[in-house]
Amino acid sequence: MRRVIVLGSSGSIGTQALDVIRRAGDRFELVGLATGSNAEVLARQAAEFGVAHTALGAAEAAQLVRDVDADIVLNGITGSVGLGPTLAALEAGRTLALANKESLIVGGALVKERAAPGQIVPVDSEHSAIAQALRAGDRGEVSRLIVTASGGPFRGRSRAELAGVTPAEALRHPNFAMGRVITTNSATLVNKGLEVIEAHLLFDIGYDRIDVVVHPQQMIHSMVEFCDGSTIAQAGPPRMLVPIALGLSWPERLPDVDVPIDWTAAQTWEFAPLDDDAFPAVRLARRVGREGRTFPAVYNAANEQAVEAFHDGAIRFTDIVDTVEAVVDEHDAPAELTLDALADAEAWARRAADQRIRGRR
């Protein structure tokens, strides 16, 4: 039986993880829970599962991970505040089921150098798909990673057409119900840019060998192309249950986690290239990923400020990534990546983004 700590237990990933644990109770013992601020939900979850160890906020979550004996930590926290708990899990020797992509992207080398081989198990559906497909061959046989993207609610629109979209429209994701920042990131494709950086860090594949393809149905979660011309794709309904369950049970599969695709039903799946002119976020993410150091942290922090400004009516939709790019252009990264340098860079990026936003009002 694996002892599990779930961080971000009141969010989408966390509640689905609890559902997996609830239905496979003989496989897991829930020993710790943490959420950002929802004490009422946390208390209810702790009572249901008989969990004695709980935490509110990222700092308490990191301490919980250090103090409570566990095999697996599922980090479902949203945002770069998840970095502390991620580092705590790695330093404590726990297997890290990572849904908090920002902590890996922002932490970069700080996370990588603390992680033992196989210690991080990806929970993002795209990276879980790649991890599953990679089992079909040796790493030396891999030619490319193909990360799929829904294209968001504005797929097919030109940059000019995107300028006038509203916050309400940006929150109408075609396949998933998520929080405001993540849903908006899916509309701008910033989320896909972050996933490209994450794929590079998780699988040690160069940016020139990581492609993004638009697949609106999101039935194929990502693919791996091998040197012989074969491509292995992982397919399933556009839901998170399988990636979450695999994050907890890796490398084993749990039975009856989700309903499989009905292959007897007629269906059409589409694939299209990414429009970098209308959606420049992925191109910019490749640039900051190659630069490394504090650049990914600046990209992420500036984007969070710009997303909030968009929803407050201060800037247009297209101004989100334009603001991020302008802040990235101004950034003078230190030679060495440290936790203090990350904190300074994030604070600077938020100030720089806010200043540009005020100038656009």
Phi and psi at residue 230, in whole multiples of 5°?
Answer: -85, 145
The pLDDT assigned to 179 comes to 72
SS3 category, 178:
coil
pTM comes to: 0.95
Q: In the chain, which residue ranges form alpha helices assigned H by DSSP?
A: 12-23, 39-49, 58-67, 83-91, 101-107, 109-112, 125-134, 159-162, 167-170, 180-188, 190-203, 241-249, 281-291, 295-311, 317-330, 339-360
Is residue 184 within 8 A of residue 170, CB to CB? The reply is yes
Burial of 233 (0-12, 13-18, 19+ CB in 10 A): middle
The pLDDT assigned to 56 comes to 97
Q: How far apart are CA 187 and CA 169, in angstroms?
A: 9
Is residue 14 within 8 A of residue 6, CB to CB? The reply is yes
- Count other C-beta atoms under 10 Å from residue 168's C-beta: 8
CA angle, residues 173, 194, 71, in degrees to nearest 5: 100
251 cis-preceded (ω within 30 degrees of 0): yes
Is residue 71 within 8 A of residue 57, CB to CB? The reply is no
Domain chopping of the chain, boundaries = 2-123+240-249, 131-219+273-360
The pLDDT assigned to 172 comes to 84
The pLDDT assigned to 178 comes to 65
DSSP state of 195: H
- Architecture of the domain defined by 2-123+240-249: 3-Layer(aba) Sandwich (3.40)
- Terminal CA-CA length for the chain: 56
- For domain 131-219+273-360, which CATH number applies: 1.10.10.10, 3.90.1150.10, 1.10.1740.10, 1.10.540.10? 1.10.1740.10
Contacting residues for 119 by C-beta, under 8 A, at least 6 apart: 90, 93, 94, 95, 96
pLDDT tens for the chain, residues 1 to 361? 999 999 999 999 999 999 999 999 799 999 999 999 899 999 999 999 999 999 999 999 999 999 999 999 999 998 899 999 999 999 999 999 999 999 999 999 999 999 999 999 999 999 999 999 999 999 999 999 999 999 999 999 999 999 999 999 999 876 666 678 888 999 999 999 999 999 999 999 999 999 999 999 999 999 999 999 999 999 999 999 999 999 999 999 999 999 999 999 999 999 999 999 999 999 999 999 999 999 999 999 999 999 999 999 999 999 999 999 999 999 999 999 999 999 999 999 999 999 999 987 6
Instruction: Note the pLDDT tens digit of each residue in 121-154.
Output: 999 999 999 999 999 999 999 999 999 999 999 9
The pLDDT assigned to 176 comes to 60
Is residue 87 within 8 A of residue 58, CB to CB? The reply is no
